[in-house]
Amino acid sequence: MTSNKKKPRLVVSTGAGISAESGIKTFRDADGLWENYPVMDVASADGFRRNPALIHQFYNERRRQLGTVRPNRAHEILHELEEHFDVCVITQNVDDLHERAGSTEVVHLHGELTKVRALDNPDLTYRLESYDTATTPETRIDGHRVRPHIVFFQEAVPMFEPATQLAAEADIFVIVGTSLVVYPAAALLNYVRRGVPVYYIDPNPSKVPDGVIVIREKATEGMARLAEILLKKI
C-alpha cells in the first residue's frame, strides 16, 4: 500500500568530508594545500589566468582519480532516505559520488569534475566522455575552447541563489563534512526557517553554529546514526 502523505523535505548540505572515506582528500586538512598544490594556484580565477595549462592538468588528474573511487555508505544512506523523505543534496563537492550512489536531486555549488564549459559562453557545458578524458587550453569542443566546469575562488557562485531557496524549503536540514568556512556555502544555514532541526555530522567541526545538533562522527557512521534518529520520528 502506498501512502499519500507528503514526505518531509530533507535538505542536506555536503562538503569534502562526505567523500573522505571514499579516498578523496579534503582541502583544509593539509596546510592549505590541495593534493600538494597551493589552493590558490589550482582553484582561483587568478591562478587560471596565470597558468591555464596547470589548471587543466590538475582537474584532469582529479577526474582520473574520481574514476578510481566509489561512493561510500554515507552517500548510499542519503539515497536510501529518499524512500521516506523528499531529499535534496546541495554539495560543495565537484565529484559525482552522490549521483553514482543514486541521489536524484543534487545541486553542485562549485561545479562538476565530469564537465567542462565553453570559455566564450558559460551556459554551454559539456559532459566529458570518460573519467580519463583529458583537456588542455587548446582543446576545442563544437569549435569552443573550454575550461573546467569549476567555480574558482574570486568567481561568482551562480547556483547559490537556487540553493538558498532549497534551504528555505527544508523541514529538516543536515550538514555533512564541511568546515563551514567557505562562503557563500557556509551562509546557507541562514536561509533555513526558524524551528527547523539542523544536524551537523563532522568528526572535527571547526565551528558549530548556535542551535545545531552535532553528531561528532565520520560521515559513514554519522549518517547511519542520523538515519536512525530521523526514521524513528516519522
Asked if 43 is part of the footprint of ligand APR (rule: CB under 6 A), the reply reads yes
Under a CB-based contact definition with an 8 Å cutoff, are residues 8 and 86 in contact? yes
CB of 2 to ligand APR, least distance (A): 34
Q: What is the contact mask toward ligand APR in residues 148 to 187, using x (rule: CB under 6 A)?
A: -----------------------------xxx-xx-----
Render the burial of 9-32: b for 16+ CB within 10 Å, e for the rest.
bbbbbbbbbbbbbbebebbbeeee
CB 208 within 8 A of CB 214: yes
> Residue from 10, 11, 12, 16 that binds ligand APR (CB under 6 A)?
16
- Piece in contact with ligand APR (CB under 6 A), picked from 53-61, 81-89, 198-206, 225-233: 198-206
| Active site (annotated) includes residue 110 | yes
Strands (E), the chain: 9-14, 33-34, 37-38, 86-91, 106-108, 111-118, 121-127, 140-141, 144-150, 172-176, 198-201, 213-215
Read out DSSP for 207-229? ---TT-EEE-S-HHHHHHHHHHH
User: CB 39 → ligand APR: shortest distance, Å?
Assistant: 6
CB of residue 112 vs ligand APR: minimum separation in angstroms?
Answer: 12
User: Residue from 101, 202, 215, 230 that binds ligand APR (CB under 6 A)?
Assistant: 202
Residue 200 contacts by C-beta under 8 Å, 6 or more apart in sequence?
Answer: 174, 175, 176, 208, 209, 212, 213, 214, 215
Show the cell assigned to 141.
569542443
**Closer Cβ to ligand APR, 105 or 221, answer by number:** 221
Among 33, 39, 157, 168, binds ligand APR (CB under 6 A): 39
- Per CB under 6 A, the segment of 11-19, 45-53, 157-165, 191-199 that binds ligand APR is 11-19
Catalytic residue among 56, 108, 110, 149: 110
Site string for ligand APR, 203-232 (x = CB under 6 A): xxxx-----------xx-------------
Active site residues: 110
